[in-house]
């Protein structure tokens, strides 16, 4: 297979498909979403500037995830961060392991699968599901959105009915990730 640097179209496609998941992925390391977005943007810029050569879509995805992991760890190891946050060398060593990396890639992918499925719901229904996934109770959602608990329950019921067939192919991945996370 011929290797070449990413074309503009391939680069844009990689950005559009990977950027949100990579931000979630970086955030699992650094616990700062704004900085995670900056890190991912830096990685995209560096890959474009260096005209990195990659074979196929799987290699592109792998390279981006590994680059974001490395840049996130570099950020955590920086003197400024070590001085302002309590991150132990043991915590960083754990984050450098392959098992942590693969688990977080899977979690990031699952997050994107769920988000893409939720995006197909009507706006109010999607909002209720996002708040529910975020850990809010029906009462809290009701108070936040100013709608009745019965309406919340109806939105959730409709969402689950609609999402179940969309997410059925991802069920084993969900089980695997949540099993290794616990």
For 148-170, what is the mean pLDDT? 85
Q: What is the pLDDT of residue 106?
A: 76
pLDDT tens digit string along 46-97?
988 887 776 677 778 888 999 999 999 999 888 667 667 777 778 788 888 8
- The H or E element spanning position 158 is helix 149-167
Please provide the average confidence, as pLDDT, over all residues in the chain: 81
Above 70 in pLDDT, residue 170? no
Question: Residue for token digits 């949540």?
Answer: 178
Question: pLDDT digits over 92-135, tens only?
Answer: 888 888 778 877 887 777 777 888 888 888 999 999 988 887 78
* 75/21 same-domain check: yes
Q: Which residue has the tokens 């559009």?
A: 16
pLDDT band for position 173 (cuts 50, 70, 90): low
Last residue of a domain, one of 37, 64, 96: 96
Task: Give me the phi and psi of 54, to 5 degrees please.
Answer: -135, 150
At residue 174, the pLDDT reads 56
How open is the CA angle 72-73-79, to the nearest 5 degrees?
105
Please give the full DSSP string across 69-113, using - where no structure is assigned.
HHHHHHHHHSHHHHHHS---HHHHHHHTSHHHHHHHHHHHHHHHH
Instruction: Clarify whether residues 91 and 102 are in a common domain.
Output: no
pTM, entire model: 0.63
Domain containing 154 equals: 98-182
CA distance 10 to 1: 16
CATH number at residue 133: 1.10.10.10
Together in a domain, 87 and 137: no
């Amino acid at each position: 297979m011929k290797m070449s640097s990413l074309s503009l179209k391939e680069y844009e496609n990689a950005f559009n498909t990977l950027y949100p998941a990579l931000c979630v992925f970086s955030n699992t390391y650094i616990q700062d979403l704004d900085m995670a977005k900056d890190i991912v943007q830096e990685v995209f810029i560096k890959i474009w500037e260096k005209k990195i050569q990659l074979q196929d879509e799987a290699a592109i995805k792998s390279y981006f995830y590994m680059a974001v992991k490395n840049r996130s760890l570099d950020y955590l190891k920086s003197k400024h961060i070590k001085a302002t946050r309590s991150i132990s060398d043991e915590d960083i060593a754990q984050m450098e392991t392959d098992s942590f990396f693969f688990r977080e890639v899977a979690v990031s992918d699952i997050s994107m699968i769920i988000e893409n499925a939720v995006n197909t719901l009507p706006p109010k229904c999607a909002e209720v599901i996002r708040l529910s996934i975020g850990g809010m109770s029906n009462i809290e959602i009701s108070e936040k959105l100013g709608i009745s608990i019965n309406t919340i329950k109806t939105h959730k019921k409709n969402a689950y009915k609609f999402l179940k067939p969309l997410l059925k192919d991802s069920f084993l991945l969900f089980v695997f990730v949540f099993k290794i996370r616990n």
